[in-house]
């Protein structure tokens, strides 16, 4: 039995970048004869406070704790056939620890999410963001045996840096048996629900669309539902915030009639996989997205989603979707069909297996 060590930043089943990417394939990998070991940098204690302001001493303590655990892990690397590094080994400073992992691991697979080769945007912790070095990603791209990227654009960038054809784009993984279509029960609603789901790290992107939602609310009443791990208030909107949890995730998403995916247009976003948009498509609702990044590769405007080119288009398109029930439902149905056709878990697992065994 071959052994795979997954070196990742977050605990299992909490962060979208992991639980909707490689974590769903653990069972299939085990059925194919692989023994899985997961080593998270953050433990539950750090994860619970990472999204909150303050707790500085606790954050420092648990960060040092994570670093020590990463250093101890060095002595076990040689017993694994594959070391799968997601994002980094240690989030701060130069790639010193990463270089040790590269030297001592038999085969390294580097999984890069977002364009961490450019300056991070949307981070709630500006100091932590500054301490992060893009040199880590470059080092891992050059020295890893294979690279998995979160967008086709990143494939080109990684291959250019590594000077070898070692990168492959693999879409997010959403289990079709779990992400089922939402029931069509709009007749029981007083107001259409426009929704957004995310974490503290992407909360800043809501600032892009909030002023447009306020303009829209003056014209037509709707409910704005946010699913996240933070609190939010806005006196100019009928807003509700649900705290995300894995048990109720699908039930929470089924409250949405329309899903939002606002993003800035910059180099960082070029590496985004479009995960939120795929979640909305999977449950059969229209994804209304900024026309940037990977969504341009899988959303056809006004057929299986809506692509927004400028600020004014948010109000125009959202108002039309609220008023036109038939269009809203049709786009959602088309989105679900595309999800099942192009993004099934079985299809995506084959891509992971090809990287590991290639």
Asked if residue 216 is part of any domain, the answer here is yes
Can you give the CATH number for the domain in which 312 is found? 3.40.50.2000
Which residues lie below 8 Å from residue 312, measured CB to CB, with a gap of 6+?
none
Is the same domain home to 129 and 168?
Answer: yes
The residue among 125 and 223 whose pLDDT is bigger is 223
**196 and 322 belong to one structural domain:** yes
Same domain flag for 335 and 351: no
Least confident residue range of 85-94, 124-133, 189-198, 218-227: 124-133
pLDDT digits (tens, 9 = 90+) for 227-286: 998 889 999 999 999 999 888 999 999 999 999 999 998 776 767 788 899 999 999 999
Count Cα neighbours of 162 within 13 Å in the Cβ-side half-sphere: 22
Is 178 a member of any domain? no
Please choose, from the candidates 62, 146, 139, the residue with its C-alpha nearest in 3D space to the C-alpha of residue 108: 146
Q: What confidence category does residue 335 fall into, taking pLDDT thresholds of 50, 70 and 90?
A: very high
- Region 212-225: what's the mean pLDDT? 96
Dihedral over Cα of 62, 111, 275, 12: its sign? negative
pLDDT band at 33; cut points 50, 70, 90:
very high
- Mean pLDDT, to the nearest integer, of 191-210? 91
pLDDT for 122 = 47
- 305, 328 in Cβ contact below 8 A? no
pLDDT over threshold 80, residue 343 = yes
pTM of the model: 0.79
Residue 112 inside a domain? The answer is: yes
Which two structure tokens, joined as six digits, stand for 91?
Answer: 């989030």
Tell me, yes or no, whether 349 and 323 share the same domain: no
Q: Report phi then psi at 169, rounded to 5.
A: -80, 130
Q: State the Cα–Cα distance between residues 313 and 115, nearest whole angstrom.
A: 26
Residue-wise pLDDT tens digits, 137-162: 999 999 999 999 988 888 999 999 99
pLDDT at 124: 45
Shared domain check, 239 and 131: no
> Residue 131: which residues within 8 A CB-CB, separation 6 or more?
91, 92, 93
Q: Are residues 121 and 85 in the same domain?
A: yes
- Looking at the structure, tell me whether residues 7 and 97 fall in a common domain: yes
pLDDT band at residue 119 using 50, 70 and 90 as cut-offs: low
- Report how far residue 178's alpha carbon sits from residue 156's, in angstroms, rounded to the nearest whole number: 33
Per-residue pLDDT of 160-187, as tens digits, reads 999 989 999 999 888 888 899 998 755 4
Please give the Cα distance from 231 to 242 (Å, whole number). 9
Tens of pLDDT, residue by residue over 296-334, are 999 999 999 999 999 999 999 999 999 999 999 999 999
Q: Considering the domain boundaries, does residue 29 fall inside one?
A: yes
The reported pLDDT for the residue numbered 108 is 97
Residues 233 and 154 in one domain: no
Instruction: Give the pLDDT score at 127.
Output: 47
- The total number of structural domains that make up the chain: 2
One domain, residues 329 and 191: yes
- Domain residues for 242? 186-342
> Are 118 and 231 found together in one domain?
no
Q: Between residues 346 and 100, which one has the greater pLDDT? A: 100
């Amino acid at each position: 039995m071959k052994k795979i060590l997954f070196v990742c930043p977050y605990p299992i089943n909490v962060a979208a970048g992991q639980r909707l990417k490689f974590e769903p394939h653990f069972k299939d990998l085990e059925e194919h004869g692989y023994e899985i070991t997961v080593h998270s940098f953050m433990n539950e204690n750090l994860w619970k406070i990472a999204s909150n302001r303050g707790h500085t001493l606790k954050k420092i303590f648990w960060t040092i704790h994570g670093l020590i655990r990463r250093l101890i892990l060095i002595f076990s690397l040689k017993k694994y056939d594959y070391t799968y590094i997601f994002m980094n080994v240690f989030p701060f400073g130069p790639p010193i620890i990463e270089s040790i992992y590269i030297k001592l691991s038999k085969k390294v697979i580097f999984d890069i999410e977002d364009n961490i080769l450019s300056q991070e945007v949307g981070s709630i912790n500006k100091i932590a963001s500054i301490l992060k070095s893009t040199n880590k990603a470059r080092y891992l791209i050059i020295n890893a045996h294979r690279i998995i990227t979160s967008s086709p654009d990143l494939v080109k960038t990684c291959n250019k840096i590594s000077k070898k054809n070692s990168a492959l784009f693999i879409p997010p993984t959403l289990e079709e048996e779990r992400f089922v279509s939402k029931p069509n029960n709009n007749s029981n609603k007083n107001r259409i629900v426009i929704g957004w789901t995310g974490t503290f790290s992407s909360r800043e992107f809501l600032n892009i669309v909030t002023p447009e939602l306020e303009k829209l609310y003056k014209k037509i009443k709707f409910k704005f539902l946010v699913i996240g791990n933070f609190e939010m208030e806005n006196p100019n909107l009928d807003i509700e915030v649900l705290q995300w949890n894995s048990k109720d995730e699908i039930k929470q998403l089924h409250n949405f009639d329309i899903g939002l995916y606002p993003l800035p247009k910059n180099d960082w976003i070029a590496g985004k996989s479009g995960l939120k948009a795929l979640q909305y498509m999977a449950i059969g609702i229209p994804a209304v997205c900024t026309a940037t990044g990977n969504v341009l590769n899988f959303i056809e405007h006004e057929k299986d989603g809506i692509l927004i080119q400028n600020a004014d288009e948010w109000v125009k398109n959202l108002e039309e979707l609220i008023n036109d029930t038939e269009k809203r439902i049709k786009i959602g149905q088309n989105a679900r069909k595309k999800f099942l056709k192009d993004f099934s878990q079985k299809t995506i697992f084959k891509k992971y297996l090809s990287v590991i065994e290639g």
